[in-house]
Amino acid sequence: MFYWFMKHIVAGPLLRALFRPRLIGRSNIPKTGRIILASNHLSFIDSVILPLVIRRRIYFLAKNSYFRGHGFGGWALKRFLLGTGMLPLDPSGGRASETSLRAGLDVLGNERVLGIFPEGTRSPDGRMYRGRTGVARMVLAGHARVVPVAIFDTDKVMPVGGTRIQIRRIGFTFGEPLDFSRFEGREVDPNTLRAITDEIMSAIQKLSGQEVVDAYASARN
């Protein structure tokens, strides 16, 4: 109910009016089935606005630091994120990452849409950084297709490290679904996971036109 209220009554109409999002290829998102939306990541607001411009409900794996604010503002943000379908993602590896993986698989197991930023964190400079292979594990274990997504200009609305929002137009381009069923049964092969991840990142880059950096974004933040 909270998600529906925010999307259709409060945040959705407001944000669409303010940022007038350009949408290309939205019909590429299948109407049913297990789907992962894999997107570039330019700004904190990416995971807030993207769910408002697609028809299906989306559950996002968002970096767990977003949920750790202090005081009333931090509490309110955490409640908002959880209420709109955000799931904390721990990128530290080990048992914590396994917990995040299971949360994502629960979403896919219910034939829903899962949103992932394969770079793991926001780009510090607008370029595209190396994808982490967690998205490939999710694809194979969840038997899901991937819709690549390119987000444009949200870093100009709210830059990394910024707190003030600039009103300007943003954009979203959705590519055709990618099918990785040919890799079924190879969920633990690191070379397979890297190949899938790189193919996903290449598809996103073709949509976004970003310059590619062969390094992880977390090493630059």
CATH of the domain at 187: 3.40.1130.10
Closest by CA to 200, choosing from 141, 137, 154, 142, is 137
Label residue 135 exposed, middle or buried (CB < 10 Å: 0-12, 13-18, 19+).
Answer: buried
- Structural domain total, the chain: 1
Q: Is residue 146 part of a domain?
A: yes
* Higher pLDDT among residues 90 and 191, named by residue: 191
Q: Is residue 5 part of a domain?
A: no
Q: Is residue 125 part of a domain?
A: yes
Mean pLDDT, residues 112-126 taken together: 93
Q: Has residue 208 got a pLDDT over 70?
A: yes
Q: Is residue 117 part of a domain?
A: yes
Range of the domain at 115: 34-219
Q: Is residue 66 part of a domain?
A: yes
Q: Is residue 13 part of a domain?
A: no
Q: Is residue 2 part of a domain?
A: no
Helix, strand, coil shares, percent, the chain, to 5 = 45, 15, 40
Name the β-bridge partners of 61. Answer: 87
CA distance 210 to 41: 11
Q: Has residue 93 got a pLDDT over 60?
A: no
Residue 84 in tokens? 């709109």
Strands 171-174 and 145-152: antiparallel
Label residue 24 exposed, middle or buried (CB < 10 Å: 0-12, 13-18, 19+).
Answer: middle
Mean pLDDT, residues 152-175 taken together: 88
Q: Has residue 74 got a pLDDT over 80?
A: no
Mean pLDDT across the chain, nearest whole number?
86
Q: Is residue 46 part of a domain?
A: yes
Helices 134-142/190-208 angle, 10° precision: 100
